[in-house]
């Protein structure tokens, strides 16, 4: 199942003229986290997928304090057919987390959630390249027919910082249960920012960027 046409339809709607101020504010926030990019950038498509994912699934709209995906099922201006309604519900129920790649078997990708330890098999995955056992990665899993598929947004973290990531995951998991959901998203967001700062400041030791004492104030 390819959810991208539905995600593209969502993006067109929630970046339309009615949401111009939201888009302007969102771009400023995202560029601060990910750095500026344009169509000439080698990572343009990846950055656009990351921005789309963050804008639709994570960022609260200033006018409603709800993410776009939380608004869509009761948005009178967004037409959803009865056939597509369960698919949009699946999008709303997606799982965003940090994962460990375990193995590739044919087109099936085996991964483990770092926070919960739960293992997933992405059957007949459209995406099978770029995974490494020593690199943790951020991804979104979308339910489909009893299983899951990947969205197009990924963030792979270099292997030298895996110990730091695991330490931070353990810290979050020790928090009271009611605080963990928000803390997980905060950690994923901070690691995303660290990855992009590493891309911008290649001359700095990566351990000085992926750090709780970073001089970059991450």
Please give the model's pTM, rounded to 2 decimal places.
Answer: 0.92
Considering the domain boundaries, does residue 216 fall inside one?
A: no
Task: Work out how many domains the chain is built from and give that number.
Answer: 3
**Are the CB atoms for 110 and 102 separated by under 8 Å?**
yes
Same-domain pairing of 86 and 22: yes
Same-domain pairing of 147 and 115: yes
Tens of pLDDT along the chain (218 residues) come to 889 999 999 999 999 999 999 999 999 999 888 877 767 677 788 899 999 999 999 999 998 999 999 999 999 999 999 999 999 999 999 999 999 999 999 999 999 999 999 999 999 998 898 899 989 999 999 999 999 999 999 999 999 999 999 999 999 999 999 999 999 999 999 999 999 999 888 888 999 899 998 766 66
Backbone phi, psi, residue 109, to 5° = -105, 125
Same-domain pairing of 74 and 100: no
Same-domain pairing of 122 and 172: no
H or E segment to which residue 49 belongs: helix 44-53
Same-domain pairing of 106 and 117: yes
């Amino acid at each position: 199942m390819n959810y991208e046409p539905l995600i593209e339809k969502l993006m067109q709607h929630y970046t339309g003229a009615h949401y111009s101020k939201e888009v302007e504010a969102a771009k400023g926030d995202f560029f601060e986290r990910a750095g500026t990019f344009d169509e000439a950038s080698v990572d343009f498509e990846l950055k656009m997928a990351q921005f789309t994912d963050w804008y639709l699934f994570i960022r609260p709209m200033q006018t409603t304090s709800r993410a776009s995906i939380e608004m869509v099922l009761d948005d009178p201006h967004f037409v959803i057919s009865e056939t597509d309604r369960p698919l949009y519900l699946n999008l709303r129920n997606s799982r965003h987390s940090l994962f460990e790649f375990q193995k590739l078997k044919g087109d099936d990708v085996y991964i483990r959630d770092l926070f919960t330890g739960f293992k997933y098999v992405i059957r007949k995955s459209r995406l099978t390249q770029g995974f490494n056992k020593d690199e943790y990665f951020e991804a979104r899993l979308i339910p489909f027919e009893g299983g899951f598929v990947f969205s197009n947004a990924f963030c792979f973290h270099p292997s030298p910082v895996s110990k730091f990531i695991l330490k931070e995951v353990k810290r979050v998991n020790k928090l009271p249960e009611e605080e963990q959901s928000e803390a997980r998203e905060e950690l994923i967001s901070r690691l995303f920012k660290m990855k992009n700062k590493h891309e911008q400041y290649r001359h700095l030791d990566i351990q000085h960027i992926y750090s709780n004492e970073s001089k970059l104030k991450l």
